[in-house]
Structure 1
Amino acid sequence: MAKLIKNIDIYTGVGVVKNGFLRFSNKIEEIGEAKAFVTKGDDQVITVPKGAIIVPGFIDVHTHGGYGFDTMDADVDGLNRFMENLRREGLTSVFPTTITQTKDNIKKALVSVAEAAKNNSMIRGIHLEGPFINADMNGAQPAEYVIRPDLALFKNWQKDADGLIKLVTYAPEKSGSAFEAGLHNMGVVLSAGHTNQSYFKMNKGQTLASHVTHLYNRQSQLEGREPGVTGYGVLTPSIKVEVIADGVHVSPEMIKLAYQLKGAKNIEVITDSMRAKGQKENEVSELGGQKVIVKNGAARLENGHLAGSVLKYILAFRNIQKFTGASIEEAVLMTSVNQAREFGLNDVGSLEVGKRANFNLLNSDQDLLENFLDGDGLKAVDQK
């Protein structure tokens, strides 16, 4: 029996269907304008409020954890509970993200994600953030575990991860061409992050980085005579950039600048969330074995460094529109379509016949009402 939602505006990722209908099971079976709708007797009709809209399920390629869980816990059951909580933020595809730690701890985390992914359709990749970074730009990454890029080690980790590592944050200035070429040839996206590399070295083709990790944060900055990695991200048309749209990591004005320079097709909204997301403020948490305290919506180490975010994705979806003036269609690009295209997730990211029925039902205020994963609905609880 197929499910049916009708008389609703649908933002597909490739266009907008006004006053449309969506028929689906685990995949999208039919989508179109209401005037083309043909009743089928066995449809299960889902009633929606006036002014509601449908958008593709969100994709976060950079999240360490939340709701008391961290990827580095190497806990399969905990990871599955984390995924379930992320659905209540509108997510349907996720890259659990590691942190700079011991080689053994990273291996354990990779093995656990690979194990969970066998039975969890939300887990579509792994983001390896560190340990191949610049220790001087570590931020909340434990500097004592930073190591130089090591292709042989990475190949072993990729085996441990069953090939799921799709994105690697590293410092180009600490890397050699063999490391970059090795990852590139394996189909892994290289992302400049926690780096002090010069714009001019990046821009002269001395890197295969095609992605910039959390734009503006822990990287060489835009300056009068040195545009830095931030400049490389915003000035190079082909480069995809991540943006933490919480208004804490980056000011709304600078997010708007990136949007004006890059356009919606080259920005990917991330949360970079950590264990404390979903917990009460002023409760003590941790990241990579470091004490973290959340206050006024910001997670910080004892030294004051930001330690990831407590951002919920549905809020990021609204914020990216608020901060930049982007349309809903453009917000869909930045929260679903771009990620799917960059990482070859061909069965998600947009709402088209034959693709997985991963989408969100939002009310007229863009609050999440229900998340659909492979056609299975889950009511939203809290999005504040």
Structure 2
Amino acid sequence: MGKSILTNVRIITPFEEIFPGTIEIENGVIKRVYAGKNPIGENLEGKIIVPGFIDIHTHGIAGLDITYSSMNGSEDNVEETLLKMSEKYLSHGVTRFLPTTVTASHEVLLIASRGVKNAIAYQKKSCIGAIIEGLHLEGPYISKEKKGAQNPEFIRLPSIKELKEYWEASGGNIKTITIAPELEGSVEFISYARNLGIYISLGHTNATYEKTKAAIYAGANRATHLYNAMRPINHREPGVIIAVLESPQVYLEIITDLIHILPQIINFTIGHAGIERIVTITDSIIATDLPDGEYSLGGLKVIVKDGICRLEDGTLAGSTLTMDNALRNLVSIGIPLKDAVRTMTYNPARAVGLYKVGAILPSYSADLVIMDEELNIEAIYVRGEQAI
């Protein structure tokens, strides 16, 4: 790794904008950030530079899916799939991500865990594409009433015994788990997971306000795709949504395809909770970047029409959203660019304990996305090396 200087560019840190600004990179790390131009740097006049996007909730893309590969192959097949996914994500500005499983059998999730461990080990030797930061287990410990597009056949109660096996199989690379806090044994499970360093998100849940708050006190710090697959708000039972909204330590995932949540609700959530708690996710599935048609999610048939994913009964089943489109969507509904960028860089990093990434600051990893004024991606850097 060498040195590079990017100058005369609009920098979104994402806490503020610097224009014209300069970034100096050395050995894969941001060395200096300052206002003004550097005559020996690469002139990026008319361009915008932001931190690399971080997607902590994505199932698949371009015909590739972590759960599908685990159901239909070996851990080697999962590793190969994940490495291919990492290249696809990179083209949309994602420089780090958490491959996300759906509810499946114990054996399938063990295969997924081993595959993630192997893929992370491979990237340490030869990093191509977006960096895999660990595994997100979305289920199987969720509510059957709020299962959404999860396979009910494999939904079960929280099991510390199973978690120990997943943790060992993954080589300690489980980063986060989505759980329904009303399930028997959930508080004990959350406490155990947090002691391992696993971050807990509350989702696919029919929990009451009290059950949700108990889970937050136990260490849960995030809500999975807020509003979707959750008990709705009731004036006599505020439920999970009010509980997470009023808890300042809880990050809030939102799918910004403008289908799962309408613009009015996105703006309300940001206005109430504050931009520092919002985490933009894609919840993307295998059909992303592919034509409309029939696909699979965790063994369930998914029909994609006009880019919208649904089960046969009409239930939304993930999305075909990409992070660059998510950014454009947020800006289109009036969210300031720096705030929109923060929800897909710094915030997701903090939500799952990733440090020295997600911001354009000295000592941070030089993961950068260069865009034109229409927010189209023109170049991408991963650890200071131009990847696209």
- TM-score by structure 2 length? 0.91
Aligned counterparts, 1:30-49, within 5 A: 30-34=32-36, 37=38, 39=40, 45-48=41-44
**2:328 paired residue among 310, 318, 331:** 318
Aligned length: 370
CA 1:209 to 1:320, structure 2 compared with 1: closer, same or farther past 3 Å?
same
State how far apart, in whole Å, the 2-side matches of 1:255 and 1:33 are: 33
Deviation at 1:22, TM superposition (A): 1.6
User: Contact 2:10–2:19 at 8 Å: present in 1 too?
Assistant: yes
**Could you tell me which amino acid in structure 1 is paired with residue 52 of structure 2?**
G
**1:290 paired residue among 300, 311, 333:** 300
Deviation at 1:290, TM superposition (A): 1.3
User: Which residue is equivalent to 1:199?
Assistant: 209
User: Which residue is equivalent to 2:172?
Assistant: 163
User: Which residue is equivalent to 2:74?
Assistant: none
Deviation at 1:206, TM superposition (A): 6.3
User: Which residue is equivalent to 1:7?
Assistant: 8
Deviation at 1:141, TM superposition (A): 0.5
Deviation at 1:154, TM superposition (A): 0.3
Q: Does 1:223 align with 2:215?
A: no
Q: Does 1:66 align with 2:61?
A: yes
Q: Does 1:363 align with 2:366?
A: no
User: Contact 1:284–1:291 at 8 Å: present in 2 too?
Assistant: yes
Unaligned runs of 5+ in 1: 40-44, 380-384
**1:109 paired residue among 109, 112, 117:** 112
Question: What SS does structure 2 have at the residue aligned with 1:24?
Answer: strand
**Could you tell me which amino acid in structure 2 is paired with residue 345 of structure 1?**
L
Question: What SS does structure 2 have at the residue aligned with 1:148?
Answer: coil
Deviation at 1:340, TM superposition (A): 1.6
State how far apart, in whole Å, the 1-side matches of 2:109 and 2:90 are: 25
User: Contact 1:221–1:231 at 8 Å: present in 2 too?
Assistant: no
Deviation at 1:38, TM superposition (A): 6.7
User: Contact 2:146–2:230 at 8 Å: present in 1 too?
Assistant: yes
Question: What SS does structure 2 have at the residue aligned with 1:97?
Answer: strand
Please give the per-residue CA displacement for 1:4-42, whole angstroms capped at 9, x wherever unaligned.
Answer: 22111111234322201122242223221225x474xxx
Q: Does 1:76 align with 2:89?
A: no
**Could you tell me which amino acid in structure 1 is paired with residue 4 of structure 2?**
K
State how far apart, in whole Å, the 2-side matches of 1:267 and 1:154 are: 28
User: Contact 1:80–1:116 at 8 Å: present in 2 too?
Assistant: yes
Please give the per-residue CA displacement for 1:206-228, whole angstroms capped at 9, x wherever unaligned.
Answer: 65322110000001112222222
Aligned counterparts, 1:175-194, within 5 A: 175-176=184-185, 177-194=187-204
Unaligned runs of 5+ in 2: 71-77
User: Contact 2:55–2:96 at 8 Å: present in 1 too?
Assistant: yes
Please give the per-residue CA displacement for 1:98-144, whole angstroms capped at 9, x wherever unaligned.
Answer: 11011000110111111101133611121110001111211111001
**Could you tell me which amino acid in structure 1 is paired with residue 9 of structure 2?**
I
Question: What SS does structure 1 have at the residue aligned with 2:132?
Answer: coil
Please give the per-residue CA displacement for 1:79-101, whole angstroms capped at 9, x wherever unaligned.
Answer: 11111110111101100001101
User: Which residue is equivalent to 2:24?
Assistant: 23
Deviation at 1:146, TM superposition (A): 0.6
Q: Does 1:334 align with 2:343?
A: yes
State how far apart, in whole Å, the 2-side matches of 1:156 and 1:243 are: 30
State how far apart, in whole Å, the 2-side matches of 1:64 and 1:22 are: 33
**1:143 paired residue among 133, 152, 156:** 152
**Could you tell me which amino acid in structure 1 is paired with residue 156 of structure 2?**
I
User: Contact 1:4–1:22 at 8 Å: present in 2 too?
Assistant: yes
Question: What SS does structure 2 have at the residue aligned with 1:372?
Answer: strand
Quote the sequence identity (%).
Answer: 33
Q: Does 1:263 align with 2:274?
A: yes
Worse-superposed segment, 23-32 or 150-159? 23-32
**Could you tell me which amino acid in structure 2 is paired with residue 340 of structure 1?**
A
User: Contact 1:126–1:167 at 8 Å: present in 2 too?
Assistant: yes
